[in-house]
Amino acid sequence: MRLEQILFSQGFGTRRECAALIAAGHAEVAGCIVDDPDHDVDTAGLVFAVDGQLWPYAERALVLLHKPAGYECSQKPRHHPSVLSLLPAPLRRRGVQPVGRLDEDTTGALLLTDDGALIHRLTSPKRHVAKVYEVTLKHPLDAALVQRLVDGVVLDDGPAPVRAAACEATGERTLRLTLTEGKYHQVKRMVAAAGNRVETLHRSAFGPLQLGDLEPGRWRWVDATQLEAPAGV
């Protein structure tokens, strides 16, 4: 693929802007500056650089962001900055979108991609993708609360009980909750229906993907095949 086309596909500007970047010596391939926009490059395993920033070629972008509090999962936020502002310009130009949403005050694992089919698969109720939440409660919890969340509670938008896939107490007022659905404000509403209140909420895992040492506000590339690994990997 021509280098100009590569930069364009990866979100580095219009075709003319990408050609100008290359001609001005801002692009490197295999550690060497390439100033010919028509230079042919093999995209298999390609990692190029623009102004010294390394960038892996990806036909579809998929990244994991450690969302901090105070950001909205929206392209047109109303009251707080968008999570998209935490990503570099090339990813924003590619039109990446959050896979599902986290509330403004909820922190943790958030996937973003420009692959519409992948977003549909990961958010489909039929997929049962597990999301793990670390919850701090207002009041001390007991075994009965945990059991109610596992057995199921009825929310105000439907008669069928909504159940946690797993739930365990991790402290006097903290628990770890695993859900495979994606209802609006689901964790907060389930906890309220079970007789307590959420004070803080953090998503520690999305399917098999965990944040690890990824700091708040930072992001990393994800290979889509990682999503097919067993949960907890």
Catalytic residues: 103
Helix (H, G, I), strand (E, B) or coil at 213: coil
Helices in the chain by DSSP H: which ranges? Answer: 3-9, 15-23, 89-93, 116-123, 143-151, 186-193
Per DSSP, the residues of 9-46 read: HTTSS-HHHHHHHHHTT-EEETTEE---TT-B---TT-
CB within 8 Å of 233: residues ≥ 6 apart: 208, 226
Decide if 66 contacts 216 (C-beta within 8 A). Answer: yes
Q: How many CB atoms lie within 10 A of CB 188?
A: 16
Q: Say how far apart CA 97 and CA 62 lie, in whole Å.
A: 10
